[in-house]
Structure 1
């Protein structure tokens, strides 16, 4: 079925929403760095998330995964999620000021040596991560060390906002490709030439395998594992965890995921991200409708292969 085009009212709403966001970003960028992050974090937590329905979705997702969690704790986490998203947004728009700070971050983890060896050997690398902390902080830290890292992104529904947000992703270094036939072709060419690319794996994709994520069935795209197997690429998880001060990050590169079946490789990635989410739930993007369409109502069981 062809997608329905947006009505005049929806298009006008997108335009107005984009103008409001541009106004907030423009005002914030005039402030000193710390105050800038605090302002946009506050606006996302107190205004945008409640009005846009993001807070309600986060609370519903938390109740789905942690049904015994008290409501007060779910509200605390949902507020922290919105704060992190707001801070990440304005960080990504802060250009050289943000990347300059991230350039000073040390790289930690078993994957650092593996990444250096892959670059020396000309082996393609797929860096995989989730919507946790601010993954652009990790990409900026790597680019500052001379790594040319591209990315594949899902265009946002609001085309007005998408147009300028793509420019922020390009500013971190490395080409970015939109999902779709043309973008995927460019993405693959970059990979086959021994390039390094970032993929996020923690969003719902229709018709993909149902795997375990945080103890619940969730459709998980296997594209990163499929590409790693097809082109002999290193599949390397990486994360940037926000510090208690709200501005600093810890960048960690985990050990590469061994090649196997796509489902086993993706389950390993889900498990790694789930461990981080359990430890710091306020840093994961609970706003996404992660568990839809997977037979994932309370009490439903995972298929045997995903247990």
Structure 2
């Protein structure tokens, strides 16, 4: 597996050396291939959009659908570029608007839990956070079934020092860093296994089983929770804004924190729906009758 991963990493690195204009040309081609030729998860995407926005016309849904596939193509090539992009260029491409919100906690020695979603280009945020400060960034992720691709991808993500943490090792790794200021980053819209959660909320007009890991860890450790909102300004350029959602998790009732960060993400999606990962099978689980 290691040899295969190295070969894949080398191929990705070679592709990443292409200038941005060439990569975006490739993205335009990818859009037509994914949308018109392959039809990559088009049924899933349109079904998700239609259920999430029942008030929108078919024309509006089609427009969002096409914008999503264009955004998906851009995200793919931008993530390839992460394999060789310089620190200077990375900071130029994603600007953190209010870094003091996070740094004020870390400089006092306070560990922080950061929440984001499969929204805009969340992967670029890994480089941005790693380059922001010398404090460790723990990136919690769900391992891919393809271990070769997963290993190559994690190598790219950790280029500037990010610590990649498989979901099952989350609490152990955070405990290891308990005496050091650090940031633990979670994707709030992960789909949990049915055995992991029984908490359903109405999210984008649909009953949605929620991932409770963020809330459980935050309340156990009483670490503040900051939402990282990555927005697309124009092609190839993003901003990141930090918002303190919870300062003292121990003061919140059961499921209140989960509902809070889910509502925050939902509002972002409603403003710019094309930036969310609609091909993600988010509604696999249904509540009991």
Length-normalised TM-score, structure 2 = 0.83
Q: Quote the residue 1:5 is aligned against.
A: none
- 1:271 paired with 2:263, answer yes
Q: Quote the residue 1:55 is aligned against.
A: 42
- 1:220 paired with 2:210, answer yes
Is the Cα–Cα contact under 8 Å of residues 120 and 230 in structure 2 kept in the other structure?
Answer: yes
Alignment partner of 2:123 out of 136, 156, 160: 136
Please list the CA deviations of residues 163-220 of structure 1 after superposition, one character each: whole Å capped at 9, or x if unmatched: 211211112422101222x465224423564321110011221232112212322111
Q: Report the alpha carbon displacement of residue 118 of structure 1 after superposing the two structures with TM.
A: 1.1
Is the Cα–Cα contact under 8 Å of residues 101 and 243 in structure 2 kept in the other structure?
Answer: no
Please list the CA deviations of residues 102-128 of structure 1 after superposition, one character each: whole Å capped at 9, or x if unmatched: 32454335xx44312211121111110
**Greater CA deviation, 190-199 or 230-239?**
190-199
Q: Quote the residue 1:145 is aligned against.
A: 132
Counterpart-to-counterpart distance in 2, 1:49 and 1:158: 24
Alignment partner of 1:73 out of 20, 36, 60: 60
Q: 1:75 to 1:25 in 2, by over 3 A?
A: farther
Q: Quote the residue 1:252 is aligned against.
A: 241
Counterpart-to-counterpart distance in 2, 1:274 and 1:38: 31
Alignment partner of 2:167 out of 171, 174, 179: 179
Q: Report the alpha carbon displacement of residue 97 of structure 1 after superposing the two structures with TM.
A: 1.9
- Where does 1:27-66 land on structure 2 (aligned, <5 Å)? 28-40=15-27, 42-43=29-30, 45-48=31-34, 51=38, 53-66=40-53
Q: Quote the residue 2:233 is aligned against.
A: 243
Counterpart-to-counterpart distance in 2, 1:75 and 1:98: 37
Q: Gaps (5+ residues) in structure 2?
A: none
Length-normalised TM-score, structure 1 = 0.79
Please, what is the CA RMSD of the aligned residues? 2.8
| Alignment length (residue pairs) | 274
Counterpart-to-counterpart distance in 1, 2:87 and 2:35: 26
- Where does 1:103-122 land on structure 2 (aligned, <5 Å)? 103-104=91-92, 105-108=94-97, 112-122=99-109
Counterpart-to-counterpart distance in 2, 1:212 and 1:70: 21
Please list the CA deviations of residues 88-143 of structure 1 after superposition, one character each: whole Å capped at 9, or x if unmatched: 2322232342643332454335xx44312211121111110000111233332232
Q: 1:145 to 1:24 in 2, by over 3 A?
A: closer
Is the Cα–Cα contact under 8 Å of residues 126 and 196 in structure 1 kept in the other structure?
Answer: yes
Counterpart-to-counterpart distance in 1, 2:67 and 2:86: 21
SS at match of 1:88: helix
Q: Gaps (5+ residues) in structure 1?
A: 1-14, 301-307
SS at match of 2:139: strand
Q: Quote the residue 1:303 is aligned against.
A: none
Counterpart-to-counterpart distance in 2, 1:176 and 1:292: 27
SS at match of 1:255: strand
Q: 1:82 to 1:126 in 2, by over 3 A?
A: same
